[in-house]
Structures are given as C-alpha cells and as structure tokens.
C-alpha cells in the first residue's frame, strides 16, 4: 500500500518550498521530499543571496521572462513570512570604453526586460553614493530594484508556511526511481514509496537525474562552482549597494554585496565541475576573488574574513531555465537548470508552474483557510530596549545569551527547533538564528547549542550532528577517571 498524494515535490530548496507554499493555497495533498536532513541545504544555502533586478538575461529567454517580474514580488512574500529583505539597489561598474559599451548594452537589455528605474551614472554620481569604490570607475548602471535576502531563510519560512497549510515534508528521503503508472507516478525512495498524480522536479543540480528517471533525456546539468568570502559584521559601510563589474572577455568579475545580517559577501568565481557533491573551496579560486574584489573596492579588509565557502549553480546545457510540463510525461513538471537568476525569478516561476498544474488538473479548488503569514520570528538583538525587557519578563530564556557574537538568546534557539521544519543539526540552527555565523564561528556557542538541541530533542549530545547525520561532532564520553598527573 502506497501513500497517495496529489503532488510530490522533489527537492526542498527555494524552488521546491516556494512551489509547495503556493500550491498549499489549494485543496491538495502535497508532499515535499529532500535527501538532506534540512531544507535549503544545497544550492539555496550557498549563493550570492541577491535578488537581481533583471537586466542580465538575454531577452527571449525564460530567465528574462521571469527575473524582473519575480523581483517585484519579493516585498509581499517577505512581509507575509517575516523574512528580512532589503532593496538596496545594484551597480554594474565600468572602468574603460569597452566596459562603457557593455554597460550600455546591459542597460538596453534591462529596458527590454522591463526592469524599472534603471539609469546610467557617471563617475561623480557613482562615487557620491559609493565613496569606497575604486576611484578609476568611469560609469555604472544603477538598478534600484535589486535587493538582498537570506535565500535559506526564505526557503525555511516557505517550508514552515506550507506545512502550516497542510503540506508534508519528509527529509533524509532520497528519490531512487520514478515509475509512470496509468495516470499517476510512483516515487520510489530509500524510505518507502509514494503514489502521486503530479510531480514537480525541483532537484537543483540533480534535476537532470530525476528527469531521466521518467522521461527521455533532454538536458544535462553540469554544475558551476563559485567560491566566496564572508566578512565580519564589524566591517561597516564598505558598500551600500550590490557591486558588480561589467563582464569582460576575461570573465564576469566578482561582486561585493552587503547581506541582510550586516556582513559582506565577495565572490563568486565560476568553474565547471563534474562531481555534483563537490563544494570544496580552492586556494587559487579564493586568491582570484580577492584580487578581483580589490579592483572594485581597494579597501576591502580581507583580514576581517570570517569564512570562505563554495556553492554550486545548477547550470544546464540549455543555458537557460527549463520550466514546464515535460512533453513525454504529462503531469511531470520541472524547474530545471535553475541557476542564477533562479532565486530572483522564483516567485514568478512558482506562479507559472502552479498555473500549469491548475490547467492540467482542470481547475484547482482554493482553500478557505489558507494562512499566508508565518508566526513572526523574534530577533532579540534588533529589538528596542523596552521590548527586550518585556520579553525577558515573559520568558527568562531571552536573557540567556548563547551566541555572544550575534547576541542570540536561548529562547530564539529553542523556538527554531520547535517550529515546523525545525532545526535538527548545529548548521540548521545556524541557518535559522545565526549562532556560529559570527566571528567566533561557533567556538564559544557550539557546545551550548549542542546542549540545547540534545535537551529539546531528547537526544544524547553525541547524536547531534553538525550537518548531515553522518557529520557527527562528538565521538562519545570521556573516561570517567582520567589517568596521569598531567592532564
């Protein structure tokens, strides 16, 4: 006997969770599957964290179709789900005549793609709003609608809201095969089988593998890896906008972006890789990023780096998104090749996919009781003094500061464990409320967060992983009697 669903969504990144949340408006039995032990754990957790304005994609592509409209939908969803989002605007800066030509082309493209309010700034205007940029800058394309967001925070919020509205989430469940049966699909996983009318393939870098389980191969994904540096949030006022370089024949150059948490990201480079699991950083790559970043902004304090990381882009050989119902497999929908500007496009893409399913189904029935909002997240450190005092009166766990770098309290950590799609690992807590994301990188708070996770989940300390269930932190208890006079 297999569980019967209306829709199974494969992949709990930002595309899978967004589509799940939009589908949870309707009277449908929805299941989200992910191979990892947390939502938003691959591509969604390691990228530039930018909502692009939409001038980049070539007109006529799916990317161009969805990016600019998607961008404009972020204010509403972020407000509903209490996800920090800031329209800080972006600049594409140029240093010579060649860059000037490129920027003018991008500007025209932006107009065609329907990007609002873009304009070209001259040398003085650029340095007026970004005084720390390289003074050799000649001009820049300014796009005020570009923004910054925590992509994983958005996906976590979307998952929580979808579950609140009836969707189910099964983690650590790997899809191993899919069988087409009459008018349904049998999803075979390492944890059991699920029968469903419709499938949405949101499997990121694995989307082609999932596609090939049911349909004839039509695209392949070869991920492009990007390395990044993260600067400590004690660095202030480096740049206020997302700073891109005008792409040249030598490459795209790296970006400098503020984050919603007050850090700065510098990166990425771009390297095709063959191993879809490979998110290792490389010394040469990081050096390239350093040099390229310094070209845009000579005063980047690289001694304030707190972390470097690498993420993968799900680049397909179509060099575009692959979105829609698969031709030879009715009822099988997919969001493939979903690399940048995927995050920026997802609200519009989700709307489109839901519409396709609606048509295929012959009309979906809306729920009366859909709740678009998520219970607000208390971010203690950002609250005014009086509110802090009141919170502590109500729950003294708000006075127990666990993470001293980011001033994260015990109450916030406990809450993120007990929410829907709650945290089960040290990294999952870090993604939700940020202990370990600061300058000590978990040195002080790590043991305390492990203690809280173990207590709240009723587990032993040794059973709390850093990330996947194989990423154990502790190997057991110490000897009861430690030998020797020298310890």
Partner 1 sequence: MINYEVVVIGGGPAGLAAAIEAKRNGVNNILVIERDRELGGILQQCIHNGFGLHVFKEELTGPEYAHRFIKELKDMGIEYKLDTMVLSLNKEKVIHAISREDGYMIIKAKAVVLAMGCRERTAGAINIPGTRPSGVFSAGTAQRYINIDGYLVGKKVVILGSGDIGLIMARRMTLEGAKVLAVAEIMPYSGGLNRNIVQCLNDYNIPLYLSHTITEIKGRDRVTSVVISQVDESMKPIPGTEFELECDTVLLSVGLIPENELSEQAGIEIDPRTKGPYVTETMETSIDGVFACGNVVHVHDLVDFVTEESRRAGKNAAKYVKDLITNQGKSFNTKPSNGVSYIVPQKVRVDNIDNTLDIFLRVRAIYNNAKLVLKADDEVIKEYNKKHLAPGEMEHLVLPKKLFADKDFDTLTIEVKEAN
Residues taking part in catalysis:
52
Q: Is 237 in the site for partner 1 (CB under 8 A)?
A: no
Q: How far is the CB of 23 from partner 1 (least distance, A)?
A: 32
Q: How far is the CB of 407 from partner 1 (least distance, A)?
A: 7
How far apart, in Å, are the Cα atoms of 349 and each of 14, 76, 325, 440? Answer: 11, 16, 13, 38
CA distance linking residue 293 with residue 239, whole number of Å: 12
For residue 369, the tally of other CB atoms under 10 A from its CB is 6
Stretch that binds partner 1, among 183-191, 283-291, 326-334, 416-424 (CB under 8 A): 283-291
Q: Is 483 in the site for partner 1 (CB under 8 A)?
A: yes
Query: Which of 104, 125, 261, 467 touches partner 1 (CB under 8 A)?
Result: 467
CA distance linking residue 135 with residue 256, whole number of Å: 16
Q: Is 472 in the site for partner 1 (CB under 8 A)?
A: yes
Stretch that binds partner 1, among 25-33, 125-133, 182-190, 301-309 (CB under 8 A): 301-309
Q: Which residues of 211-244 are buried (b: 16+ CB within 10 A; e: fewer)?
A: bebbbeebbbbebbbbbbbbbbbebeebbebbbb
Query: Which of 234, 291, 359, 373 touches partner 1 (CB under 8 A)?
Result: 234
What is the DSSP-derived secondary structure letter of residue 423?
-
Stretch that binds partner 1, among 63-71, 80-88, 263-271, 478-486 (CB under 8 A): 478-486
Q: Which is nearer to partner 1, 376 or 486 (CB)?
A: 486
Query: Which of 20, 53, 286, 297 touches partner 1 (CB under 8 A)?
Result: 286
Stretch that binds partner 1, among 101-109, 175-183, 365-373, 466-474 (CB under 8 A): 466-474
For residue 113, the tally of other CB atoms under 10 A from its CB is 23
Return the residues of window 171-230 that contact partner 1 according to CB under 8 A: 230
Q: Is 420 in the site for partner 1 (CB under 8 A)?
A: no
Q: How far is the CB of 470 from partner 1 (least distance, A)?
A: 4
Q: Which residues of 400-416 are buried (b: 16+ CB within 10 A; e: fewer)?
A: ebbbebbbbbbbbbbbb
Q: Is 404 in the site for partner 1 (CB under 8 A)?
A: yes
Q: Is 405 in the site for partner 1 (CB under 8 A)?
A: yes
Q: Which is nearer to partner 1, 279 or 340 (CB)?
A: 279
Q: Is 254 in the site for partner 1 (CB under 8 A)?
A: no
Phi/psi region, residue 218 (left: phi>0; alpha: psi -120 to 50; beta: rest), is: alpha
Q: How many residues interact with partner 1 (rule CB under 8 A)?
A: 59
Q: How far is the CB of 371 from partner 1 (least distance, A)?
A: 33
Q: How far is the CB of 19 from partner 1 (least distance, A)?
A: 28
CA atoms within 13 A on the CB side of 49: 32
The two most distant CA atoms of the chain are separated, in Å, by: 78
CA distance linking residue 260 with residue 362, whole number of Å: 41
How far apart, in Å, are the Cα atoms of 209 and each of 63, 272, 315, 449? Answer: 22, 18, 13, 36
Question: Mapping DSSP to helix (H, G, I), strand (E, B) and coil, where does residue 123 land?
Answer: helix
Q: Is 396 in the site for partner 1 (CB under 8 A)?
A: yes
**Binding interface with partner 1 (CB under 8 A):** 230, 234, 277, 279-283, 285-286, 305-309, 385, 388-389, 392-393, 396-401, 404-405, 407, 439-444, 446-447, 451, 461-462, 465-468, 470-479, 482-484, 486-487
């Amino acid at each position: 006997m297999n569980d019967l669903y209306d829709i199974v969504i494969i992949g709990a990144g930002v595309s899978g969770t967004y589509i799940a949340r939009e589908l949870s408006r309707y009277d449908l039995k929805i299941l989200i599957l992910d191979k990892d032990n947390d939502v938003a754990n691959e591509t969604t957790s390691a990228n530039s964290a930018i909502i692009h304005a939409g001038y980049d994609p070539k007109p006529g592509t799916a990317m161009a179709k969805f990016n600019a409209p998607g961008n404009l939908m972020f204010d509403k969803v972020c407000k509903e789900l209490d996800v920090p989002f800031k329209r800080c605007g972006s600049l594409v800066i140029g240093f010579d005549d060649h860059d000037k030509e490129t920027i003018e082309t991008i500007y025209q493209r932006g107009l065609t793609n329907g990007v609002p309010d873009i304009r070209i700034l001259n040398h003085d205007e650029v340095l007026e709003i970004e005084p720390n940029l390289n003074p050799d800058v000649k001009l820049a394309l300014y796009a005020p609608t570009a923004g910054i967001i925590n992509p994983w925070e958005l996906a976590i919020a979307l998952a929580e809201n979808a579950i609140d509205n009836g969707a189910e989430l099964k983690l650590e469940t790997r899809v191993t095969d899919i069988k087409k049966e009459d008018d349904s699909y049998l999803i075979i996983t390492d944890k059991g089988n699920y029968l469903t009318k419709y499938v949405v393939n949101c499997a990121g870098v694995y989307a082609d593998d999932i596609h090939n389980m049911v349909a004839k191969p039509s695209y392949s994904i070869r991920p492009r890896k990007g390395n990044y540096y993260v600067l400590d949030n004690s660095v202030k006022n480096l740049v206020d906008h997302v700073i891109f370089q005008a792409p040249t024949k030598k490459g795209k150059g790296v970006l400098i972006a503020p984050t919603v948490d007050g850090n700065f990201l510098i990166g990425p480079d771009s390297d095709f890789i063959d191993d879809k699991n490979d998110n290792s950083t490389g010394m040469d790559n990081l050096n390239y990023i350093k040099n390229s970043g310094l070209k845009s902004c000579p005063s980047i304090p690289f001694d304030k780096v707190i972390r470097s990381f690498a993420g993968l882009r799900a680049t397909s050989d179509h060099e575009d998104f692959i979105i829609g119902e698969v031709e030879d497999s009715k009822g099988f929908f997919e969001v493939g090749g979903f690399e940048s500007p995927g995050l920026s496009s997802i609200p519009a893409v989700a709307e489109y996919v839901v519409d396709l399913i609606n048509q295929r189904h012959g009309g979906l029935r809306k729920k009366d009781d859909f709740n678009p909002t998520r219970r607000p997240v208390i971010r203690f450190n950002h609250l005014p003094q009086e509110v802090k005092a009141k919170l502590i009166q109500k729950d003294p766990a708000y006075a127990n500061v666990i993470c001293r770098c980011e001033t994260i309290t015990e109450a916030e950590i406990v809450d993120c464990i007990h929410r829907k799609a709650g945290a089960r690992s040290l990294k999952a807590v870090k993604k939700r409320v940020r202990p370990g994301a600061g300058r000590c990188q978990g040195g002080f708070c790590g043991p305390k967060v492990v203690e809280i996770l173990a207590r709240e989940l009723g587990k032993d300390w040794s059973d709390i992983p850093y990330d996947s269930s194989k990423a154990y932190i502790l190997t057991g208890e110490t000897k009861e009697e430690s030998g020797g006079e020298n310890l």
